[in-house]
Amino acid sequence: MAGHCEVLRVEEVSVAYDGRVVLRQVTFTVWSGERVAVVGPNGAGKSTLFKAIVGLLPLQSGRIDVLGCNPQQERVSVGYVPQREEVDLSFPVTVADVVMMGRIRHIGWLRRPSRRDRERVRWALDQVGLADLADRPLKKLSGGQIQRTFIARALAQEAPILLMDEPFAGVDATSEEAILSLLDRLRERQITVLLATHDLRMATEWSDRVLLLNGEVVAWGPPREALCPAALQQVYGRQLTLWEHERGVWMLGDDHCSGGRE
C-alpha cells in the first residue's frame, strides 16, 4: 500500500516539443510505494511526461520535485527504463556491464567499481532473474530480457522511483509475467513505479492510481474512478466502445495504437 511520504510532486507543468505544446498544466503527487499507470492514446504526452521528470526535456512552466523519503539520501535519482527501440543493441556490452552503468554516480569520478558496487549489480541481476546471463552480450538477448536488464540497471541505481515507458511492448508472455511479479517485490521495498501503457485492462488491474492523459490531465485517481466511461469517451471518443456492467466497465477498442511510439 502507499507509504507516508511524497516522492514525486508535479506542479502545473507545461512542456513544449518542437514549438508545439505537448503537455499543459499537469499537476499530480505520488506517494512512496504507489503504482501509477499513465494511460492515454498515442501522442497524449506519456513519454514526454517521463522525459520531463527525468530532466531530458526542459519545462516551459511549472516545477517537478523528485523527493526521497530519506532526507539523508545524497542524490535522489529516478530510474528510467527506456522504450526498447531507444537502445543501441550493437554496442559491445554485456548484461552486467549495462547494470553497472547504473552505479556510475555511486562509484564516483576517477574511481573503479568497489566490491559493494559489484555486489549490488549481482543483487539487481538476481532480482530480475538474469544472474545466469550476466556475461551475455546485449545483442544476444530477447526483448523481455532486454527490458529486465534495464530494470536491473534502475535497481542497481538504488532509485526510489522507477519510470517505465511501455515495458510490455514486444515482450513475450513469460517476460511480462516475470516483470509483473518483480514489480510486486519492488512494492515491498517501497519503490514507486510509474508505468506508461496504452493497455487499459492492465492499468485497471495493476495500478493503485491512474493518470489519464491527453495533452492535459483528464482524470487522476483510483483506476475505477479515473477510467470511468465519461473520461474514456472524452479521450478515446469513437475509438472505444463501452458497456457498463455491474462488475465494472467493458471496453472494446480498435487497438491500432499498440506497439506504436509517441
Q: Which residues contact 33 (CB under 8 A, 6 or more apart)?
A: 1, 2, 3, 187, 190, 191, 192
Q: Which of 48, 127, 157, 192 binds another protein (CB under 8 A)?
A: 157
97 binds another protein (CB under 8 A): yes
Closest contact distance (angstroms) between CB of 110 and another protein is 6
244 binds another protein (CB under 8 A): no
Do residues 128 and 96 lie in contact, with contact meaning Cβ atoms separated by under 8 Å? no
Tell me the per-residue interface mask from 203 to 222 with another protein, x by CB under 8 A, - otherwise: --------------------
Identify which range of 7-15, 86-94, 195-203, 228-236 contacts another protein by CB under 8 A: 86-94
63 binds another protein (CB under 8 A): no
Bridge partners (DSSP) listed for residue 38: 196, 211
- Residue 55's Cα: distance from chain center in Å? 15
Smallest CA-to-CA distance from 258 within 198, 178, 176 is with 198
Cα–Cα separations (whole angstroms), residue 125 to 99, 145, 182, 193: 8, 11, 11, 18
Kindly state the number of chain residues that form the binding site for another protein, as judged by CB under 8 A: 28
Q: Which of 28, 36, 67, 80 binds another protein (CB under 8 A)?
A: 80
Which residue ranges make up the site for another protein (CB under 8 A)? 54-56, 75, 77-80, 82, 86-88, 91-94, 97-98, 101-102, 104-105, 107, 109-110, 137, 153, 157
